Amino acid sequence: MTDLLREVDEMPLSVLDTPASSLHDILGGPTLFHLAGQREPALFVSVLMHGNETSGWDSIRQVLRGFRSGEGLDLPRSLSLFVGNTAAAKVGVRHLPDQPDYNRVWPGSETSGTPEHDLMRQVVDTMAGREIFASVDVHNNTGLNPHYACVNVLEHQSLHLAALFGRIVVYFVRPRGVASMAMAALGPSVTLECGKVGQPRGVEHAAEYLEACLHLAEIPSHRVATHDIDLYHTVAIVRVPPQHEFSFGDGQAEISFSRNLDTMNFRELPVGSLIAECNGALRKPLDVRDEQDHAVAERYFRVEDGRLVTRVPVMPSMLTCNPEVIRQDCLCYLMERYNDHLADAG
């Protein structure tokens, strides 16, 4: 078993004044707080799975400050708060070079064998023993994206929990090993995408949401009305193969993406939309994987006269112009509208 996880039943109020970058010095590493409230079971909230995505920590500490009472907290519902990659948060990166991505190593992951895999297994096992009301994992992204919630199972309580954050709901089953997928085994579960780091609206929105979740008596289990949400399904993950160089808008590298690539997020792109200019004889500039991890680049893109264009109507999400994110994670996801499948939800 790992010794990475710290588990504590109280939180000194001074922790609430601590920015994400200082948590490691105070907590010493990943920490699971169990804070008692008036109702059981606890809401499970995870933050800083990615060390540079600070809106989760900033929102939950804002919520907790609002429930201060004397020397302690008076919460409407118990809260189990998992503060993840404090070491990466200290230096403001997604994860350290010698760490795996903390949101790819939860039970159900396609990888195994690191202390972080044990850590996440321990968190899930602990919460399985205590039961949860719901699970919320809070993230930021880097491109221009609306705020939205993600679910990993088409199940009405999770869809209600997602719709509470906003109209846009994304259903995905890849990548594997994400927190919300593992926690879905224990109760309704969502990932929140709160836009870019440093935007006050992202923190505000997540804080309003988390406070509302703590006040909820129950999560509806009836069918979500199709006119209440815009449901999208992630059908593919797009990556730039590591051997290809890329740049934005200058035409210098093998692949030159449009400078404003991320303005295409959550837009239905017509056939023939320009994604990039490709130098020389580059035939397969992108690696595209479907839900079964099959290579499907030809289904979505083609190269014509050195121009990489879309071949079918698609809607991208999480397109980013940040080279580091593209190398560490991916270029974007491709989605299709999925409201027609709401009737199949369990």
Footprint of Zn ion (CB under 5 A): 50, 53, 139
Q: Which residues pair with 335 in a beta bridge?
A: 234, 315
Distance of closest approach, residue 199 Cβ to Zn ion, in angstroms: 15
Q: Which residues pair with 206 in a beta bridge?
A: none
Give the neighbor-by-neighbor strand order of the sheet with 301-304: 246-248, 255-257, 274-278, 307-310, 301-304
Judging by beta carbons within 10 Å of its beta carbon (0-12, 13-18, 19+), is residue 76 exposed, middle or buried? middle
Distance of closest approach, residue 138 Cβ to Zn ion, in angstroms: 9
Task: Spell out the residues 6+ positions from residue 266 whose beta carbon is closer than 8 angstroms to its own.
Answer: 145, 146, 168, 315, 316, 317
DSSP state of 34: E
Distance of closest approach, residue 198 Cβ to Zn ion, in angstroms: 14
Q: What are phi and psi of 37, to 5 degrees?
A: -135, -175
Distance of closest approach, residue 46 Cβ to Zn ion, in angstroms: 11
Distance of closest approach, residue 33 Cβ to Zn ion, in angstroms: 20
Question: Based on CB atoms, which residue is closest to Zn ion, 50 or 117?
Answer: 50
Question: Based on CB atoms, which residue is closest to Zn ion, 139 or 174?
Answer: 139
Distance of closest approach, residue 209 Cβ to Zn ion, in angstroms: 16
Report which residue's Cβ sits closest to Zn ion. 139
Question: Based on CB atoms, which residue is closest to Zn ion, 75 or 238?
Answer: 238
Task: Spell out the residues 6+ positions from residue 328 whose beta carbon is closer than 8 angstroms to its own.
Answer: 94, 95, 101
Question: Based on CB atoms, which residue is closest to Zn ion, 31 or 191?
Answer: 191
Cβ-defined contacts of 122-127 (< 8 Å, 24+): 122/1, 122/2, 122/5, 123/5, 123/32, 123/82, 124/182, 124/183, 124/185, 124/186, 126/7, 126/32, 127/44, 127/80, 127/183, 127/186
Question: Based on CB atoms, which residue is closest to Zn ion, 53 or 58?
Answer: 53
* C-alpha span between 114 and 179 (Å, rounded): 16
Distance of closest approach, residue 149 Cβ to Zn ion, in angstroms: 13
Question: Based on CB atoms, which residue is closest to Zn ion, 11 or 123?
Answer: 123
Question: Based on CB atoms, which residue is closest to Zn ion, 93 or 309?
Answer: 93
